[in-house]
Chain A
Amino acid sequence: MRVPSSHLVVLLVLGLIASTASAQVLVNRGAQIHIREGAVVTVNGDTENGSGEIRVYNKAKVTFNGNVKILQGGLYLLQDCLASISMDLTIGVAGVCWRYSPGVLDVLGTIGNDGELNNEGEINIGKP
């Protein structure tokens, strides 16, 4: 079901409130999270995708102010969306991170990959 982007912030807030993990502020346990075209999302804390997908669409901008773990499922950064992670990106054995062209993914910390990291655009690791 297509979720209107104007509703996305509400869904995320619900997710944050429902979380029982003490160190994460965004946990996905199987949902399909769509950050639609042009949307702006900021996660001020760690993100864990236990299963399911986070899909960021063209021209959207998502900022993860914390660690991001893709334990299963995937983080899909489509087309010219912009994503940044202020700390580490961890991709588990069953996890996928897919950075499509021509967008940019900034990871200021380390990318730890035990799964699959696909990049068609640009991934910047660290900072000068």
Chain B
Amino acid sequence: MRSIRPYRILYAAAVATLMIVPAEAQHLQNGVGGRVNNTGVIRFKSDTGQFRNAAPAASFTNNVIEFTGTNNAFTDIGSDPTTATAFGVDASMRVPGLVRYTRDSILQNVQSRFYTDLEMRGGSAKKIVDGVYVGSQYLITKSGPRSYAGTFTYDGALLQYITSESGLSGNTDRYDNLTILNGPKEVRRYDEVRMSRSFYSDASAPMLVQGSMFWGTNSLTSAPVTIDSGGMLATGVGTSLLNANLTVNDGEFIATDNADTTTIGSGARLTVGPSAAAKLSLGQNAQLYVLGDYANSFALRTNVRFDPTSLVNFNAPTPQVIQSTVATNAYGHLRTGRSVKTVNGDVYLVSSLSVNDENLDVGTSMLSMTTGAAQYTGFTEVVGTMQRDLRSGSTGDLYVFNNEQTRMTFEKLPQDITLEVRPVTNPTSYDLTSDIQRKINVRYNGVWTALVRAGYKQADIPATWGVDVSEDLLRFFDAKGPLTTDVRKMLPQPGSAYSRGRVADARSFGWVELGRLSSIDPAERRIDNTHDLLMRGSRDILKAIASGRWSNPATWDEGREPDPKDRVSISGFTVHVGYVRANDNYAILEAFPDTMARAVTLADVPSTSLLIGYTNTFNTFSLKRTTGVLFTQNRVAPSLVPFTALDVTVANLDAGLLIYPGASYTVPDLLIGADATVFNGGILQVGSN
């Protein structure tokens, strides 16, 4: 047998040692002067293999870097991933070419880097941390589940496609935060992009959505977004701020159910249309704040859907045009604020209206709502036509119309009723010496009866009013034309009375209210369809319309106690002064006991009586003590009326003038008609002193 030479034994041992001892470091270390030109694939196979670099970015060209370990990384030459020479540490050191993370099992950690192209491949799970930037393509190729934590950014200057990640919950197969920067992006048709938290775009990253995109929580866009080709974009549950235009050409923009506000920023515009395929949808409780502009260019307006609980809030500080709607596709809640608003057509809403800070002027169009609340702050109103569709209304409910003091409470509901209210505008039959200069035109379908209040502003009170005209005298008139016969005064009906509120200052409403106005007779309460509701403050003869105390407004046709300037007529009713009778149990004292009126006339009609009584020492009464003030008594009592003691019953008396013992009544001039009767048990003084 041949002998084995010693050097061969040593050599074999050395070789065996080399083959057994594994290499510790398994990296690619590119020194400061090194150049790596990779048009193939450089694959890192160990779990900790790193591409360490000390050279400038231009020293590396790349086709594919493939990481197959769990913690592969780009670092500087000293294994620090955060210094300037580590590839991908920032955009200037962006990793060129494709970086592929591929492994069949276990987990791969995807390093926070600026990549050009990035690919997830192989069955292993991928953990994608905050701070991954992709400048071109993001590929998911038969990859295991991806979990995202933090922000994933597409930041290429050329068109990038946002890769589908359509996990429905959590952060698996669903972006966490998604950011697009620097150039145009697109969600391709049939792709679906979801994220669990925020979406952000900068001003240089317009986005075209042709597939589906679901924002997570809060979102902010700074560049235009266009939805086309049947695409769909849904907001997250948090706030969404659109600081650039969002245009829906073909597809749908959805404000998600119960989402926080979606705001169209100042200078931005949300445009929907011009076809039925361009849609906007606000879900339950969703809120759209329009600080810029919202426009629907589809003529039929049927391409938008607003849940009744949703809100559209036009709240720009500069004048805005409110987009019109149709009855079948009406706003839910509508709010305006901060500036004057106009409309570009009829506006329908099904829930509430809130007008704040400045008026909403609908021009020649109409604002139509149903039974929801209309609220006004800041002395605002709807100028123009406002309709209430009351088919689902309820009697007894208060329905506010064009301002907080223009409202109706119905005993009987019409199908709809419309008020066209124009401040500082002559109503039909306007008399500048006595009338409120505010046109209120009434239109309706159906029969109605209601308590009606109409508000007015100080600016509606012309300086041309006569000296005897007063807000306290304002009454309603049905007005249809210029003739005096075209004006019909509205009088209280049984169970109704005028009430009024004066204008307190230039920032408050005055108002007039009368119950039981109606679309049907009697004429004294009827407001005809298409007629104006006129407010007139001239002083007419005040007529008793019920038996009751002089101080009781319900006794008089204008719903107020006579004052010293009034002329009063009592015909067919028993009016008592100075004490309480059971017919109205009215205990408030007369306001002007020594100047009750400037004239009183008692008609020769049964039950016509003026009873002068007393309550303790409240017992002295007088007409205005001025020469020429006249009391005319024409009633002829058919029989003697007992007058030794106060009559406190409910019954009418037929006495003419009656002064009870203990009471005193002074009239400057007294005219007693033929056979008319005066029963005096107290003191009757004729002539002033």
Contacts and interface: CB of A to CB of B under 8 A. Distances in A.
A65 B18 contact: yes
Nearest to B31: A114
Contact of A125 (B19, B24, B27, B34): B27
B502 interface: no
B44 A113 contact: no
A45 B31 contact: no
A112 B31 contact: yes
Contact of B23 (A88, A93, A120, A121): A88
B18 A125 contact: no
B412 interface: no
A70 B364 CA distance: 88
A127 B35 contact: no
Given A112-B29, A114-B31, A119 B42 contact: yes
B454 to A, nearest CB: 87
B28 A125 contact: yes
A75 B48 CA distance: 27
A44 interface: yes
Contacts of B27: 110-111, 125-126
Main secondary structure of the interface of A (DSSP, over half): loop
Contacts, number: 117
Contact of B39 (A91, A113, A119): A119
B43 A118 contact: no
Interface string A75-89: 000000000001110
Interface in B123-141: none
Contacts of A109: 23-26
B40 interface: yes
A45 B39 CA distance: 30
Interface in B1-51: 11, 14-15, 18-19, 22-47, 49
- Classify chain B: how many residues form its interface, as a range: 20 to 34
A46 to B, nearest CB: 9
Contacts of B265: none
B40 A101 contact: yes
B566 to A, nearest CB: 108
- A91, A108, A110: which has the most chain B beta carbons within 10 Å? A110
A108 B24 CA distance: 9
Given A108-B22, A109-B26, A113-B30, A125 B40 contact: no
B38 A119 contact: yes
Given A113-B36, A120-B40, A126-B46, A87 B28 contact: no
Contact of B40 (A65, A86, A122, A127): A122
Contacts of B11: 44
A30 to B, nearest CB: 23
Interface string B41-85: 111111101000000000000000000110000000000000000
A117 interface: yes
Given A44-B11, A112-B31, A115-B34, A65 B39 contact: no
A81 to B, nearest CB: 14
A123 B34 contact: no
Contacts of A127: 22, 26, 45-46
B35 A117 contact: yes
Interface of B: 11, 14-15, 18-19, 22-47, 49, 68-69
Which 8 residue pairs spanning A and B have beta carbons closest together? A126-B26, A109-B23, A126-B46, A114-B31, A44-B15, A113-B34, A110-B25, A126-B45
